[in-house]
Amino acid sequence: MIEGGLAALERRVAEDLERIAYPRSAWVPPRRDADGRRVLDVLIVGGGQGGIAVAHGLMRARVANIRIVDQAERGLEGPWLTYARMATLRSPKEVNGPDLDVPSLTFQAWFEAQRGADAWATLNKIAKEDWADYLLWLRRVLSLPVENGVEFRGVEPAGELLRATLLHRSDGRVETVLARKLVLATGIEASGRWWTPPVVEALDRRYWAHTGEAIDFAALAGRRVAVLGAGASAFDNAATALEAGAAEVAVYCRRPALQRVQPFKWLSFPGFLGHFAELEDAWRWRFMNHLLSLREAFPRETWDRAARHPGFRLETGAEWRRCETVGDTVRLETPRGVFEADFLIVGTGFDVDLPRRPELAGVAEHVALWSDRYAPPAGEENPRLARYPYLGSTYEFLEKQPGAAPWLRHLRLFTYATTVSFGPSGASINAMKFAAPRLVAGIVRDLFREDVETHWESLRAYDLPEFLLPGEEGETAPVKPVLDRLVGGRFG
């Protein structure tokens, strides 16, 4: 029996938010376009966990004139119910992130309110369906206005503002919106593309898929499947194929042995997660070159889920040097001989490559990359890392050529592509409580600085006495916030 259930928890959330609401007045002076319409303070693209965490932080900072758009249907944001083929999150269940450290907003609070503390105590890891449900719940209790089915198509400067183009997928309507700031919380692949080795890419599409895509697993029943990659996604896809009745599934990897040590567990401490970005470039590069060159190890459940099937095989030291179709069979040449399969699944991750993104046309070419700012010493070169953006201290894009696109500072990135600059940050649950507040602080700082003259005038016009003397009439502070009087209406 769970006393009060979710309804009681939601009352607690409301109380908690009320207790930390100070200072509560809206403070960002409104900007209007030529037609008198209010310009957005922030447009957030992406209503996954990253976009939600940022929106949560902004609302708490009383930056409420925001929109959050997501091209996916409601509930299908992020990978959880689409191409994430694991049963549970890989993170430990205690990880807390988009709650931004409000205890009643944590996953644990949400889970216990519905299933009880005993169920939490015996839970191993968080089911991905629960995580997706929890994110929807957060949106609701935080009143975050995510607009689904709205695709961000591009952005350009408009004086001191940004003009973003949005496509409403339901009716094909194209909308342009003016915003002061833009946050791209668009997910792992949206800073580049899923990466497939050229030997596979050259094959007819009938014979292969990437783990980041929709795959018809039912069609693999009775067939031989070869999976490339030694990461968690490769194994999750292998297990899904076996569960769908594949006759045999072999996982191939280049390494001589599976990586079973999880370096991302090592780095989960406040010094690293909170302050990695402040290290010198040489250290940031060295750490990330090491960490991103290792595969992330996966949890035991992932291994067990695939390995329990008799049709499962692991082929180490066996990268695919050549792939060719012979009839309906794919021949795979590896250093350990030739193998055959009917269908290939590649779990080879993604490549950060901003210029590939159509929605970043006109933007990407101006963005400073690590290759523009840092030359690693001999032995530490890494062309894949060199393509990551070299970001400013609060996730803003910096210019490749100083002065060529000063408006870039209004755009912030909150995806995996922040990793070389910040370590785990956008896109990692374990880092979110450090990363989202830093990004939010940058926006709040800039909104304040850019309006400093208005704030100065506001201060000089501030004439509300704390109390009235006998015989005086009028208002006293703080009944009517001063900025309201200056612009003739309440902010927010």
Instruction: Give the residues lining the site for ligand FAD (CB under 6 A).
Output: 45-51, 69-72, 77-79, 84, 89-91, 151-152, 185-188, 190, 233, 359, 415, 426-430
Sequence-distant (≥ 6) Cβ neighbours of residue 379 within 8 angstroms: none
Token pair listed for 243: 């569960």
- DSSP output for 231-264: SHHHHHHHHHHHHTT-SEEEEE-SSSS-----HH
Nearer to ligand FAD, 178 or 323 (CB): 178
Q: Which is nearer to ligand FAD, 96 or 428 (CB)?
A: 428
For residue 183, CA distances in Å to 187, 368, 373, 374, 441 come to 12, 17, 23, 25, 13
Measured distance CA(385)–CA(288) in Å, rounded: 8
In the complex with ligand FAD, the residue whose CB is nearer, 188 or 483, is 188
- Nearest distance in Å: CB 387, ligand FAD: 19
- Least distance (Å) between residue 71 CB and ligand FAD: 4
Which residues are CB-neighbours of 407 under 8 A, at least 6 positions away? Answer: 157, 160, 162
Helix axes 432-450, 49-60, angle to 10 degrees: 50
Query: Can you list the positions of beta strands (E) in 347-454?
Result: 350-352, 411-413
Least distance between ligand FAD and beta carbon 48 (Å)? 2
Alpha-carbon dihedral of residues 333, 335, 339, 344, nearest 10 degrees?
-70
Nearer to ligand FAD, 70 or 112 (CB): 70
**Residue 452: partners with Cβ closer than 8 Å, 6 or more residues away:** none
Task: Select 109 or 427, whichever has its Cβ closest to ligand FAD.
Answer: 427
User: In the bound complex, which residue of the shown chain has the CB atom lying closest to ligand FAD?
Assistant: 48
Question: What is the nearest approach in angstroms of ligand FAD to the Cβ of residue 94?
Answer: 12
Nearest to 225 by CA among 87, 84, 86, 340: 340
Instruction: Give whichever of 46 and 389 is closer to ligand FAD, judged by the CB atom.
Output: 46
Shorter beta-carbon distance to ligand FAD: residue 28 or 146: 146
Closest separation in Å from C-beta 174 to ligand FAD: 13
> Least CB distance from residue 451 to ligand FAD, whole Å?
28
User: What's the closest the beta carbon of residue 128 comes to ligand FAD, in angstroms?
Assistant: 8
DSSP string, 429-464: GGGHHHHHHHHHHHHHHHHHHHTHHHHHHHHHH---
Walk across the sheet containing 329-334 and list its strands: 322-326, 329-334, 337-341
Distance between CA atoms of 408 and 374, rounded to whole angstroms? 20
Q: Give least dist CB 98 to ligand FAD, A.
A: 9
Please choose, from the candidates 468, 466, 461, 467, the residue with its C-alpha nearest in 3D space to the C-alpha of residue 482.
461
Return the number of the residue (65 or 96) whose C-beta is nearest ligand FAD. 96
Secondary structure class of 128 (helix, strand, coil): helix
- Smallest gap from residue 354 Cβ to ligand FAD (A): 13
Question: Which of 45, 391 has the CB closer to ligand FAD?
Answer: 45
Minimum gap (Å) between residue 143 Cβ and ligand FAD: 19
Instruction: Specify the amino acid at residue 161.
Output: L
Identify the CA nearest to 228 among candidates 324, 350, 319.
319
Distance CA 250, CA 225 (A): 6
**Measured from the CB atom, is 27 or 134 closer to ligand FAD?**
134
C-beta of 411: minimal distance to ligand FAD in Å?
13
Q: Which is nearer to ligand FAD, 350 or 491 (CB)?
A: 350
| DSSP helix/strand/coil, 334 | strand
